[in-house]
Amino acid sequence: MSKKWPDRKQWRQFFKVLSKKEKIAFLCFFLLFLFSFSFLLLNFYFKNTEKVPAKGGTHIEGVVGQPRFINPVYANSDVDRDLVQLIFSGLMKYDENLNIVPDLTERYEIEQEGKVYKFYLKDDLLWQDKTPLTADDVIFTIKTIQNPDFKSPLQANWVGVEVEKIDELGIKFTLKKPYAAFIENCTLGILPKHIWQSVSSESFAFESHNLEPIGSGPYKLNKIKQTNSNQVKYLTLVQNSLYYAKKPNISKIEFLFFTNEQELIKAARKRKIKGLSLISSADLGKKWQNYSFLLPRYFAVFFNQEESKVLAEKEVRLALNYGTNKTEISQKIVNSPILPEIYGFEQPSEIYEFDIEKAKNILEQAGFKDEDGDGLREKVITKEPAFKFKNYLAKGSKGKEVTELQKCLEGEVTGYFGPQTEQLVIEFQKEYIGEVTGTVGPKTRAKLNEICFEEPDEILPLKFSLVTVDQAQMLENAELLKEQWGVLGAEVEIEKYPLFQLEQDFIKPRNYESLLFGEVLGAIPDPFPFWHSSQKRDPGLNLALYENNKADKLLEENRKASDPEIRAEKLVLFQNVLIEDAPCLFLYSPDFVYAVSKEIKGIEIKKITDPSKRFVGIENWYIETKRVWK
């Protein structure tokens, strides 16, 4: 039987038997076959595989400021909190939806109607130096914060809390009163006892480990570079190989530090950094993506009625509320301290809609008028004299009124109406009345009251100072308020200070007439620190020095209630009481904007409690990718 398929020798002769046109046609068909086959092969590969995050890559974060305390006990600046978020872990943590979920904790129990919390740590937890993490570390951290000698800014969160050890992995907290939001306090980063236990309170703030931290979070410090003046130029974090949860995809995070936002933006445009948070808007180009996170914070003007006589008048505070056009601020308007738009509560029963004529009428009715036409309002307050003659006085009278009569007529003060006093009365009557009796009757009393105890009228100008932080957007808003309130006839003097000075010299001692500032709530709304009368003084945060017994009771009941529906009911009632009193002017609640290079992917978070929480879920961020079979 003859062969039907050419052998190797015959195949070698293949091109010799073809004509030139046949060779060209064959090559064309062969290349077409290869292309089609490759296309089908690639199409099959891409249809049956998917792109997934891969390990590797470096993220570069740019921030304004300097790290000082990479230490959960002291971290109070945005820069410090950013680094603590990545290096340390807490008993609990936030997830991408602002829920509070276990972190170091395997499980927890709430007992005695919210007065007792028990936490049980995961097995085999390790610090980044391979030392076991136990209940002793948790107890040490809490007791350090509670000790006033250490002056932790978090001390107020742990007042009235007893902490004790159950066993090596168990911790028990006992509260004096039930507190539904206590679970949020437990997101605090835990310090390693074996590193810090020998450091005294006097040396704690100066210990080198404040810039060389040992934590238990997803990243650990790898390198820190300082200038000759001890300023930190940059630092590098790398994956913590001992991290107990999902390891992050991004291998390394570098932090670069800048002195102002202008330098930060310049570095972003030059692609020296890959992520930054901005106070003011800036166009960074097409290779950047802005993430907008809901942040439970609001900015308001807090009226200090103890420092300003004019702001102590409710009518003035109401007029300022009605006379403010919040839409000109170009931010998300708020009208309540419990942020119904974020937490889903009912809106307040009273909203001060912008009404300039109503604001002017309120001021007019309150006696603030512009009588001299200079555009500024004043109120004339007629004072009642501290003393008045009311009784008939004659020779032989004695007592308080005789004493005051003798003082007024500049005679000898004896308290007894004798001949000398009678002669002084006669001389007074000759000069002022024309009717001489030597006794103090109705006409003489009226003239004596007019001359002896005349009180000049007090002029109360509609004038006060507005203190705020020296930052562009805040000053812009302050100027806008000054302009709007100027239309009402109010004279406003703006005072600006750096944040640290503002906090130390003005906020802590409550040394201001009005203050434009912001306050931040947590995942579980608890306005108690901001509005309860017990928080009027530092370290409390009642910046309006607000006091109302009904509001206090509602805030206390909100803290005790474990049922979210009951808490919502109490908070809505509280907001209505507070807004009726108008101790402040609620303005706006800006979203937090985080600009990131488009090469950074996997950012899924929607809500955060403070800017450092933008790193929640960072283990899911990625730069590198790979394909895997479906």
Q: Which of 16-20, 240-244, 432-436 has the lowest mean pLDDT?
A: 16-20
Burial (CB count within 10 angstroms: exposed 0-12, middle 13-18, buried 19+), residue 236? middle
pLDDT band at 267 (very low <50, low <70, confident <90, very high): very high
On the question of pLDDT at 591 being above 70, the answer is: yes
Q: Among candidates 248, 229, 110, which has minimal Cα distance to 621?
A: 248
Residue at 599: amino acid letter? E
21 or 190, which is more confident: 190
Ramachandran assignment for 165, one of left (phi > 0), alpha (psi -120 to 50 degrees), beta (any other): beta
What's the pLDDT score for residue 281? 65
Q: What percent of the chain has pLDDT over 70?
A: 98
Q: What is the mean pLDDT of the chain?
A: 92
User: What does the pLDDT average to over 412-441?
Assistant: 91
Structural domains present in the chain: 52-87+217-293+592-630 (3.40.190.10), 89-209 (3.90.76.10), 297-375+462-588 (3.10.105.10), 400-452 (no CATH)
**pTM for this entry:** 0.77
pLDDT band at 1 (very low <50, low <70, confident <90, very high): very low
Residues ≥6 apart with Cβ < 8 Å to 260:
64
Summarize pLDDT for 70-116 with one digit per residue, the tens.
999 999 889 999 999 999 999 999 998 889 999 999 999 999 988 99
Per the document, the length of the chain is 630
pLDDT band at 452 (very low <50, low <70, confident <90, very high): confident
User: What does the pLDDT average to over 298-324?
Assistant: 97
The rounded distance, in Å, linking the Cα atoms of 259 and 264 is 8
User: What does the pLDDT average to over 221-230?
Assistant: 91
The rounded distance, in Å, linking the Cα atoms of 585 and 477 is 13
On the question of pLDDT at 3 being above 60, the answer is: no
Task: Note the Cα 528 to chain centre separation in Å.
Answer: 14
Summarize pLDDT for 164-177 with one digit per residue, the tens.
999 999 999 999 98
What's the pLDDT score for residue 555? 96
The rounded distance, in Å, linking the Cα atoms of 530 and 536 is 8
